[in-house]
Amino acid sequence: MDWQGQKLAEQLMQLMLVAFAVVAFIAGYVLGSFQTMLLIYAAGVVLTSLITIPNWPFFNRHPLSWLDPSEAEKHPKPQPASSGPKKKASKKVN
């Protein structure tokens, strides 16, 4: 799964869980059944899991292109910035 696929899976998961929670609450309230509400929400969680957890092809639309090892050797590796620890100027009180 690529980075954009992970973002899509996360957004789908959030949207579907909220939608199923709202539908389950309304159905449970109208029917006066807590059990019906829980069953609808549980079905929504299972359906959401089946859609967002497996690595489906539509989550791999933007694959990363990696450099060949020979090409990577031609480019210098980035060096970390050496900022070092900074000391505060202290004032002496006499």
Question: pLDDT digits over 55-91, tens only?
Answer: 888 888 887 777 677 776 777 777 777 766 666 666 6
Q: Is residue 31 part of a domain?
A: yes
As to burial, measured by CB atoms within 10 angstroms (0-12 exposed, 13-18 middle, 19+ buried), residue 23 is: middle
Q: Is residue 87 part of a domain?
A: no
Q: Which residues constitute the domain of residue 10?
A: 3-56
Q: Is residue 29 part of a domain?
A: yes
How far apart are the C-alpha atoms of 67 and 34, rounded to whole Å?
55
What pLDDT does 88 receive? 63
Q: Is residue 94 part of a domain?
A: no
Q: Is residue 70 part of a domain?
A: no
What pLDDT does 15 receive? 97
The whole-model pTM stands at: 0.66
What pLDDT does 50 receive? 95
What pLDDT does 94 receive? 60
Tally of domains within the chain: 1
Q: Output the CA torsion 65→71→73→75 (10° steps).
A: -80
Question: pLDDT digits over 13-57, tens only?
Answer: 999 999 999 999 999 999 999 999 999 999 999 999 999 988 888
